Amino acid sequence: MAIKKIDKLKYLIEKEGSMRVPAVVFANEKIFEKIVEDKSLEQLKNVASLPGIVGKAIGMPDIHWGYGMPVGGVAAFDAEEGIIGPGMIGFDINCGVRLHITSLVFEDIKDKIDKIVKKMFELIPAGVGLSGHVELGKKEMKNVCEEGARFVVEKLGFGSPDELENIESYGCIEGADFSAVSEKAYERGRDQLGTVGSGNHFVELGYVEKVFKKDIAEKWGVFEGQVTLLVHSGSRGFGHQICEDYLKVALRWCEKNRAPLPDKQLAYMGINSSEAKSYISAMKSAINYAFSNRLIIAHYAKKALADALGIKAESLGWKLIYDVAHNTAKFEEHFVDGKVRKVVVHRKGATRAFPKGHPELPGKHREIGQPVIIPGDMGRYSYILVGNEKAMDESFGSTCHGAGRVMSRKQAIKSARGRDIRQELLKKNIIVMAREVHLLAEEMSDAYKDVADVVEVCEEAGLSLIVARLKPVGVIKG
């Protein structure tokens, strides 16, 4: 393929063959050498070949091979004449991350980390097929799907009302319709609220190791040494089933309409079709479910922290910085080719990063910019970023979402053979508990890019700015 380095941090895949638009990848030379080792750029070219795409197909520095569309990919389609594709959002709809801060400092917890991690592992179901603390009947499930986090706060009694403005879209995407969800999806999701799942999902206890932008950090209440809590999870089996159901619908739509399809995994539906409208209603249901899921997980993490420390939860100074989605398609307005267009932005393993002044942000975030939470790997660090104006011009208001894999799970397990990952982490003063031991090999630091490199590319490219670095001290996984 024709790849041209057009500046220090940007690589252009020129339009060729069936591509309708060019593609661009944000990366430095070190990261790009890893990117070309898999098929993610071929996948990005396929996305650039789809009908209705506008601007460019975009790859973030954490890009890697995924289902149909690469993880770390962004693509926008015309909202009137474009398409929507389940594979371009992914199976884990609204996989995302939330960050809580506390009034505690590391000295307050350093001798009780083991106790805290054990308590979190006891209270928070982490692993495949586990049920949560909440089981929903059809009526309550409909409420969660259509009203999102507000219903969970006001009717189920988790979290607090002041959290809502610190969740992307206030924890509820309007237009969700539970009637578009299959019975099988309901059955898979009815008892999984408040569960972490497996893979790269986790709950992480840590602290603020370094503040880089003190003015912004102070406005958020973030300071060095502060104890933090990260939750990384999504819509669990509920969202997975919705994706599975509608991929079949999309494939039938493509066959019926003889639509050009470079890869069956990219099966799509015309945006105005009845099939697309049903999928959008179901996808929004999964987005709202995932916001609710992370909120409930955080409730039990807060309880675990307070119980382990032997103090009241009210004494923690518990505050939500932000909860942000990774895998979504959203209707937004962006400048494209010199004019404002309404588009459907598909973000798959990418984070919305709106700058200060953006009308979709609530008051206090509009004054500062949207917080962007970037989890790294369990052996290194994570970051808090803030959205920047240039992202609106370069990436449809998007930035990276994490470190990005450099090894498949099978490769990681093979590479870790003979090593004790848990002990390696313990030597770094990081306590990890996992239900499946092989997950520690799959998720070891070597399997990922260094997230510091990834966020630095995003900052230098102007997509988002680094505010603070977090250090993990305790992690639970599935």
At residue 438, the pLDDT reads 79
Q: Which token pair is 311? A: 């103090």
Q: What mean pLDDT comes out for the span 201-229? A: 98
Percent of the chain with pLDDT over 70: 100
The answer on pLDDT for 212 being more than 90 is yes
pLDDT at 435: 84
**Position 279 pLDDT exceeds 90:** yes
Q: Pick the catalytic residue from 232, 346, 365, 401.
A: 401
Structure confidence at residue 300 as a pLDDT band (50, 70, 90): very high
Lowest mean pLDDT of 238-242, 383-387, 417-421, name the range.
Answer: 417-421
Q: Is the pLDDT of residue 77 over 90?
A: yes
**Window from 250-259, 365-374, 408-417 with minimum mean pLDDT:** 408-417
- 401 is annotated as an active-site residue: yes
pLDDT of residue 222: 98
What are the chain's domains? 3-477 (3.90.1860.10)
Q: What does pLDDT average to over the chain?
A: 96
**CB-based contacts of 298-303 (< 8 A; 24+ apart in sequence):** 298/98, 298/100, 298/159, 298/229, 298/231, 299/158, 299/159, 299/194, 300/120, 300/123, 300/124, 300/133, 300/194, 301/100, 301/120, 301/123, 301/124, 301/203, 301/229, 301/231, 302/100, 302/229, 303/123
pLDDT, position 478: 79
Secondary element (H or E) of residue 455: helix 451-460
The mean per-residue pLDDT over the stretch 198-222 comes to: 96
Mean pLDDT (whole number) for 380-406: 97
What per-residue confidence (pLDDT) applies to 64? 96
pLDDT at 455 over 90: yes
Question: Tens of pLDDT along 14-36?
Answer: 999 999 999 999 999 999 999 99
Q: Which token pair is 61?
A: 């520095």
- What does the alpha-carbon distance between residue 346 and residue 44 come to, in Å, rounded to a whole number? 13
With bands split at pLDDT 50, 70 and 90, how would you rate the model's confidence at 199? Answer: confident
Averaged pLDDT for residues 359-363: 92
Does residue 437 carry a pLDDT above 80?
Answer: no
* Over residues 92-114, mean pLDDT: 98
* Average pLDDT of the segment spanning 212-220: 98
Is the CB of residue 475 less than 8 Å from the CB of residue 203? yes
- Per residue in 324-343, pLDDT (tens digit) is 999 999 999 999 999 999 99
Q: Rounded mean pLDDT of 267-289? A: 98
The pLDDT of 311-326, averaged and rounded, is 97
- State residue 146's pLDDT score: 98
Taking CA atoms, 346 is separated from 12, 77, 259, in Å, by 20, 8, 19
Model confidence pLDDT, tens digit, residues 252-261: 999 999 999 9
pTM above the 0.95 mark? yes
Nearby residues of 239 by Cβ (< 8 Å), 6 or more positions away: 91, 92, 93, 94, 189, 286, 289, 290
Q: Does the pLDDT of residue 197 top 90, yes or no?
A: no
pLDDT at residue 1 greater than cutoff 90: no
What strands lie across the sheet with 3-7, from one edge to the other?
3-7, 10-13, 23-26, 53-64, 71-78, 339-348, 328-336
- Give yes or no for residue 2 having a pLDDT over 90: no
More confident residue, 117 or 437: 117
Mean pLDDT, residues 65-88: 97
